[in-house]
Amino acid sequence: MDKLAFLFLACILAGFALIKLPLAGSPLAGIQPITSLIGILAILVFSLVLIFRGIMALVGK
């Protein structure tokens, strides 16, 4: 399997970790929406890249 695919999967997992990051009650509680937004964007971007690469592999390019 392609090494980049594992990297993309790791980025998706990191995005989920950013969404679930508990910042309530800490001095960083104000950046909770920013970390959630970055996590959502990471999940979306890397998922779309994996889907695109999978389609290209099926097509044969």
Q: What is the pLDDT of residues 10-58, one digit of tens each?
A: 999 999 999 999 988 889 899 999 999 999 999 999 999 999 999 998 9
pTM, rounded to two decimals: 0.85
* Number of residues written out for the chain: 61
3-class DSSP assignment, residue 34:
helix
Provide the pLDDT confidence category of residue 2 given band limits of 50, 70 and 90. Answer: confident
Three-state DSSP at 25 gives: coil
Residue 22 zone, left/alpha/beta (φ > 0; ψ -120 to 50; rest): beta
- Amino acid found at 10: A
**CA atoms of 24 and 35, how far apart (whole Å):** 12
Nearest to 12 by CA among 48, 42, 34, 36: 42
